Structure 1
Amino acid sequence: MVKIPPRFRQWFDQQGWTILPHQREMVDRYQKGQSTLLTAPTGTGKTLSGFLGSLIEISETQPKGLHTLYISPLKALNYDIERNVTAIIDALDLPVRVESRTGDTSAYRRKRQRARPPHILMTTPESLMLLLSYPEAAQMFGSIEAVVIDEIHQVAASKRGDLITLALAQLEAYRPGFRRIGLSATVAEPDLFCLWLGKTGAPVDHFNSPSTGKPPQVSILKTKEPVPFTGFVAQYAVSEIMAEIEKAGSTIVFVNTRFQAELLFQFLWEVNENALPIAIFHASLTRELRAKTMKMMAEGRLRGLVATSAIELGIDWGDVDVVIQVGAPKGVSRLLQRIGRSNHQVDVPSKAFLVPANRFEVLECEAAMLAIKARQLDGDHPLPGSQDVAIQFILNAACSAPVTPHQLHDLIIQSWSYRSLTYEQFEELFQFVIDGGYVLRNYDRWQRLIKQDDGDTKGFWVPANKAVIQRHRQNIGVIIEAGKLKVKRRHGRGGKYLGEIEESFGQSLRPGDTFYFAGEVLAFERIHDMTLEARASAAKEPMIPTYAGGQMPLSTFLAEGVRAFLQDEEGFEKLPKVVRNWLQLQSRFSVLPDRKSLLVESFPRGKLYCVIFYTFEGRRANQTLGMLISRRMERIGLHPLSFTVTDYGLAINSLQPVTEESVYDLLSPDILADELEEWLAESPMLKRSFRRVATIAGIVEQNNNSARKTLKQVTFSTDLIYDVLRKYEPGHVLLSLARSDAERELLDLDRLTDMIVKFQRHIEFSDLPRPSPLSLPVILDVRTERLPGGGMEALLAQQNLAETAESLMHEVEDALKS
């Protein structure tokens, strides 16, 4: 029988809440010592379910050390959960201490936490790994009873997830049998995540909460202006978005990138005639600005907030009335996470509007709404662990205590992600940590481990010196960022720091150039000591900082949903009139894509020819496909000139037309061998990937004492090492890791391979006299990464492209009439 003390039951009653079945179940499982993955809808007290057993046990036993560890992917979520748990502790007057430990925690507090840990510690994967690198780690974590991993779907399929699963293995060595609790609202394959959360041979159990609460109310926002052919920020709908903000008490407007956040905020501010308090939130703003915004939102002092994924996970703002998603969601689970920020209560349905930025995104939004109605989820699934992360972990473990290869290998393979790592593979990684390999061992810089010759630790390996430990701790983590410049708005002799922009954008500015940042217009003055200094400006057409890696890939599940929707012509009736007419005109002029074949269209464009592949495989896969097909087109004499990619298709311009016979050659599976190898040998792709794995593996550091290296400095170092290894040690472990990392992280090669194999004998080729209606959003797309320095130029270009698209549509209509 579940034992919930009277004062806990009374607290629920005072809140007007009922203890939900999944909360009782989680307490029962906790008290039985069971590990569990809980999947429950957003707003149903899921996080409290993960903590309730710990709070009850701590209040009854009053342990002296660390009892429960909470891990989340976001610092903001840690602080929010700390605030909520503290409120419960204060209300019940429990003898429980709870604290957060992130990169923002002061040095004094970090030291105190190691010496006198709280009962409950909130942290991130990187901060946990740092704690595990200290000699007192065994003592600090030796009394742990539970580890709670929140938003498990967000981290398990990434290198941050690899860090967590290795940390769990280390914690198991310190405290065998602790409870492992995973929490998520949107896990599509719970059995696989149960394996990931457990240890080798001992998966955790899954408990799926019965349907609780009401389904979300999701619809596409109705607008006066028609949905354009192209676009990325939905400027046509700004007035309607503002109108929804005015009607609601509080609204979060989600976008997919920081670029979009800065641009949309300015558009909303321009039509904010009633001067409603609205703000902007993304990861490049300072911690102080983000904390201030979160506080204002929690206190109900903001009417609108334009935000990126930095707040989509778990943060409990119960007074948010409406969520507006601007731009296609790219994934069903991601969309549900964002929708869940609205009316974060069990008995109130979440309310959300979707605002597609172009006509293809209308189809994506419709497919996402159908999936939500059918209670279908998507998302990435855990993969085998990356070996560069294992390299980092080896040194991390050695910083904590002397190690031996056999002992460490036995520990690592207890992690599900590394269960298949052979001892021979591990030995190669361990040797790399010792001295860097055949070439690099000649340099003292990469001598990181030495073997003890005497004493109690004879035969064990330890860090070569204190400098090795210091450099490692300063660079723990797997998030490899582009070089950053701090942004300071000057005022008189002083000024205020607003956040960070990428170094490449800052270096492109000249004195007097203006740009949007943190919801302000700034005029560039100078860069000094890695700080970009600027002043406030009233300029009307400023630029917008661009950020690397901002694009979200279209999920495979949602891509299939779009294909399925295109086959259901009866469903077209629910579409906006311009979109319905667009698709109907396409079916008359050419054909609509289906799920069984790949549609390829070829047509002349002035003196050139264009071929379009409607892949629906996302920008990253289409970018790779464009590189490979272009090389093959050159080889067979078609002379490609350029290509454009969207999530939905790839368009290539050439001097010679692609025929039905040649298209089968272009999509032959051998393109993934011949052209891929040639391209990788010539392109900077592998060097970029090498920079990532070399930084994670510790060959180069982003941080050195109080200084942070510029991207130019890091790139120079890694490029030099890459060239030396390619020439003198081509079998080096980092080179093979760079190749596999590029295929997994940069090329989306698995997804591309699956598509080519699936459709190689099922191609629907359409030879047309002019561009088809469906081709227009692809051939006229202006990608954010192609902008010549700013957003206004792109918007003007989009207006011109919209006029071009309309004229081309009229040509198609006239051709059909004749």
Structure 2
Amino acid sequence: PMPWGAHTGRHAIPELYAAIKTARTTLVFVNTRSQAEIAFQELWAINADNLPIALHHGSLDVAHRRRVESLMAAGQLRAVVCTSTLDLGIDWGDVDLVVQLGAPKGSARLLQRIGRSNHTLERPSRALLAPTNRFETLECRASLEAAEAGAIDGPGPRRGGLDVLAQHVLSLACAGDLTEDGLVAEVMATAPYAALTRADIERVLDFAATGGYALRAYERLRKVVRGRDGRLRIRDSNTAQRHRMNIGTIIEAPMLRVRLAHPGGRGGKTLGEIEEDFIAGLGPRDTFLFAGEVLRYVGLQGVDVLVERAAGAEPKVPAYAGGRFPMTTYLADRVRRMIADQGSWAFLPEQVREWLELQRARSAIPDPGRLLIETFPRGLRHFLVAYPFEGRLAHQTLGMLLTRRLERWGLKPLGFVANDYALGIWGIESMADVDLAALFHEDMLGDDLEEWLQESALMKRAFAQCAVISGLIERRQPGAEKNGRQVTFSTDLVYDVLRKHAPDHLLLQAARADAGEGLLDIQRLGAGLKRINGAILHQALRRVSPFAVPVLSEVGKSPVYGSGQDAVIDAAAAALAAEAMG
């Protein structure tokens, strides 16, 4: 049966394997690296025909990925489980089937992936969509309809980052082609930076050249000097070398190499890279899935994670920080309209239709322009569940702000949980009589947001990324590279100094902008709050609703998944579903 919650797609693996057997070559796309590891392991667990099935994602060793690509090009593989690493740049005519396991999160991504099959002018592309739960079924259907209508979604234009501009200034200085007037003219003619004033650009130049404000006294940060011809140049060849080693704007989570341990504790073959935070949570002899294998943690040697192959049960799966794809705004609008339009339900699987009918009978189906909010008791707790459909990041931010507001109102919230579709809050006091219009008013994005940002670790995280991109902190140096803890320690110290002595520093401004647009999805949340202003549909219920089951089944679940995680979610969902249908 189609799961109420869960996200791994284990229920679809037998049908997926059957589809692979009937096709010549199949690409199985998933949205995250952890999901790729799980799907690959599950496929091999039922691979009675010993079909050549491979794994490909960005954390695997480059040699492994190139080997998989070579085997695929030679027609020696029947399937590859992959992430966006194979979205682009491949031209394998033998691929005759693409499977999207999990919702694609956007019509553009779906079309891009479907286009990998039958990659010739003569044959149409062929694809299967395998949603991992009932809400994802709606999202998959909306993606197909958008693709059929030729509606291509995607992120809108972003404002240019001040940290990126600072890096560009240093690159121009390395080339010896930098003047104040030339820089101002170039930047103001570039769309993402068109709103900057000359004073703004000169501040960026001053920061890139000297560190700016409270950091001006540090000789190491004096990177740009003026020549006799009036042009600005990098100070010396060593500074230029360090800049070139650190150039780039993609800051991944701190990674460690995964290597097989040799007798005597030395590191052997490299399998790939894994996030430092995940390894920090492992204990001696813990097992985890990586590179399609069950590995046992042996120990840490410098930047190397030493492992040995194991056949252990209950392996953990790394939950990578980059694996958070929110559903696009356009797709969310389509899903809301589909839910409200009963005529469109005929195109959905029977189990999903029954789920929607049950929701209508036990609670309500909201109009596309209204926000459904349900309140109900369960056990000794009281719950509030809202369905904005604005994506996990926006919902997590909303949850933080709502719980602060509820606490201030004396309603004793205890926690919240969010997914792409809904947000659930629970507490000691009933929330049935709360002024919901005031609770969800967009003024929470003012003082409430600023107070929370100052207290949270998110600003430090955003600042760390800006510090690396701008060149303030050099992660790589000749013959050495800082690990994640060293970078965090360095940037946290600088952050605290600047907050105290230069609160208007350029990098603090850049970090605030990045946190709002990236880590918190403030722009999308703000648009969503405007949309629901005066359009809230409140249902005071006696028990949990069918729509609330998926999000509440995730309450208390860790982001690091073991092999029994779906079973735990399924058990929680089954108990909640029994209440919803009772």
Alpha-carbon distance in structure 1 between the residues aligned to 2:502 and 2:340: 53
- Per-residue deviation, 1:660: 5.0
Given the alignment of the two structures, is residue 252 of structure 1 paired with residue 27 of structure 2, yes or no?
Answer: yes
Alpha-carbon distance in structure 2 between the residues aligned to 1:340 and 1:536: 37
The match for 1:267 is 42
Given the alignment of the two structures, is residue 681 of structure 1 paired with residue 465 of structure 2, yes or no?
Answer: no
The match for 2:541 is 768
Given the alignment of the two structures, is residue 803 of structure 1 paired with residue 578 of structure 2, yes or no?
Answer: no
| Contact map agreement 1:660 1:765 (CA 8 A) in 2 | no
The match for 1:147 is none
Given the alignment of the two structures, is residue 424 of structure 1 paired with residue 199 of structure 2, yes or no?
Answer: yes
The match for 2:305 is 532
The match for 2:213 is 438
Q: What secondary structure, in the 3-state scheme, does the structure 2 residue paired with 1:652 have? A: strand
Tell me the alpha carbon deviations over residues 174-204 of structure 1, each in whole angstroms, 9 at most, x when there is no partner.
xxxxxxxxxxxxxxxxxxxxxxxxxxxxxxx
| Equivalent runs, 1:514-529 vs 2, <5 Å | 514-529=287-302
Q: What secondary structure, in the 3-state scheme, does the structure 1 residue paired with 2:213 have? A: coil
Tell me the alpha carbon deviations over residues 552-608 of structure 1, each in whole angstroms, 9 at most, x when there is no partner.
011001100101111221221222222111100111111113212111000001111
| Equivalent runs, 1:388-787 vs 2, <5 Å | 388-452=163-227, 454=228, 457=229, 459-491=230-262, 495-781=268-554, 786-787=558-559
Q: Which amino acid aligns with 2:277?
A: S
**Structure 1 runs (4+) greater than 6 angstroms displaced:** none
Given the alignment of the two structures, is residue 791 of structure 1 paired with residue 562 of structure 2, yes or no?
Answer: yes
- Per-residue deviation, 1:655: 1.0
| Contact map agreement 1:230 1:359 (CA 8 A) in 2 | yes
| Contact map agreement 1:642 1:653 (CA 8 A) in 2 | yes
The match for 1:387 is 162
Tell me the alpha carbon deviations over residues 76-106 of structure 1, each in whole angstroms, 9 at most, x when there is no partner.
xxxxxxxxxxxxxxxxxxxxxxxxxxxxxxx
| Equivalent runs, 1:40-55 vs 2, <5 Å | none
Tell me the alpha carbon deviations over residues 287-328 of structure 1, each in whole angstroms, 9 at most, x when there is no partner.
111111011111111101100011112421111011111111
The match for 1:349 is 124
Alpha-carbon distance in structure 2 between the residues aligned to 1:242 and 1:537: 25
* 1:301 aligned residue (70, 73, 76): 76
The match for 1:87 is none
Alpha-carbon distance in structure 2 between the residues aligned to 1:802 and 1:764: 25
Aligned residue pairs: how many?
Answer: 580
The match for 2:18 is 243
Q: What secondary structure, in the 3-state scheme, does the structure 1 residue paired with 2:551 have? A: helix
- Per-residue deviation, 1:509: 2.2
| Contact map agreement 1:230 1:782 (CA 8 A) in 2 | no
Alpha-carbon distance in structure 1 between the residues aligned to 2:316 and 2:478: 34
Identity over aligned pairs, percent: 44
- Per-residue deviation, 1:417: 2.5
Alpha-carbon distance in structure 2 between the residues aligned to 1:758 and 1:568: 19
- Per-residue deviation, 1:494: 6.8
Q: What secondary structure, in the 3-state scheme, does the structure 1 residue paired with 2:316 have? A: coil
Alpha-carbon distance in structure 2 between the residues aligned to 1:357 and 1:494: 38
- Per-residue deviation, 1:541: 2.0
Alpha-carbon distance in structure 2 between the residues aligned to 1:632 and 1:438: 36
Tell me the alpha carbon deviations over residues 20-66 of structure 1, each in whole angstroms, 9 at most, x when there is no partner.
xxxxxxxxxxxxxxxxxxxxxxxxxxxxxxxxxxxxxxxxxxxxxxx
Q: Which amino acid aligns with 1:484?
A: M
Distance 1:488 1:783, change over 3 A: farther
Alpha-carbon distance in structure 2 between the residues aligned to 1:591 and 1:517: 43
Q: Which amino acid aligns with 1:736?
A: Q
Alpha-carbon distance in structure 1 between the residues aligned to 2:89 and 2:301: 38
Q: What secondary structure, in the 3-state scheme, does the structure 2 residue paired with 1:439 have? A: helix
Please say which of residues 703-712 and 687-696 is displaced more in the overlay: 703-712
The one of the two structures with greater contact order (alpha-carbon pairs below 8 A, sep at least 6) is: 2
Alpha-carbon distance in structure 1 between the residues aligned to 2:76 and 2:95: 11
Alpha-carbon distance in structure 1 between the residues aligned to 2:27 and 2:472: 42
- Per-residue deviation, 1:804: 1.1
Tell me the alpha carbon deviations over residues 608-646 of structure 1, each in whole angstroms, 9 at most, x when there is no partner.
100011000000000000000000000111111010101
Alpha-carbon distance in structure 2 between the residues aligned to 1:510 and 1:606: 35
Alpha-carbon distance in structure 2 between the residues aligned to 1:277 and 1:424: 60
Q: Give the gaps of 5 or more residues in structure 2.
A: none
Tell me the alpha carbon deviations over residues 470-492 of structure 1, each in whole angstroms, 9 at most, x when there is no partner.
11111000111111110112355
The match for 2:8 is 233
Alpha-carbon distance in structure 2 between the residues aligned to 1:605 and 1:474: 56
- Per-residue deviation, 1:498: 0.9
| Contact map agreement 1:498 1:518 (CA 8 A) in 2 | yes
Alpha-carbon distance in structure 1 between the residues aligned to 2:44 and 2:275: 25
Length-normalised TM-score, structure 1: 0.69
| Contact map agreement 2:395 2:420 (CA 8 A) in 1 | yes
Alpha-carbon distance in structure 2 between the residues aligned to 1:783 and 1:734: 35
| Contact map agreement 2:8 2:566 (CA 8 A) in 1 | no
- Per-residue deviation, 1:465: 2.1
Q: Which amino acid aligns with 1:609?
A: H
Q: What secondary structure, in the 3-state scheme, does the structure 2 residue paired with 1:442 have? A: coil
* 2:152 aligned residue (365, 377, 387): 377
| Equivalent runs, 1:48-447 vs 2, <5 Å | 226-447=1-222
Alpha-carbon distance in structure 2 between the residues aligned to 1:574 and 1:461: 64
Alpha-carbon distance in structure 2 between the residues aligned to 1:364 and 1:790: 24
State which structure, 1 or 2, has the greater radius of gyration over its C-alpha atoms: 1
| Contact map agreement 2:6 2:570 (CA 8 A) in 1 | no
The match for 1:109 is none
Alpha-carbon distance in structure 2 between the residues aligned to 1:624 and 1:770: 26
Q: Give the gaps of 5 or more residues in structure 1.
A: 1-225, 812-818
- Per-residue deviation, 1:399: 0.5
Length-normalised TM-score, structure 2: 0.97
Alpha-carbon distance in structure 1 between the residues aligned to 2:328 and 2:556: 19
- Per-residue deviation, 1:781: 2.5
| Contact map agreement 2:498 2:505 (CA 8 A) in 1 | yes
- Per-residue deviation, 1:685: 1.4
Q: Which amino acid aligns with 2:580?
A: M
Alpha-carbon distance in structure 1 between the residues aligned to 2:365 and 2:420: 17
Alpha-carbon distance in structure 1 between the residues aligned to 2:55 and 2:78: 12
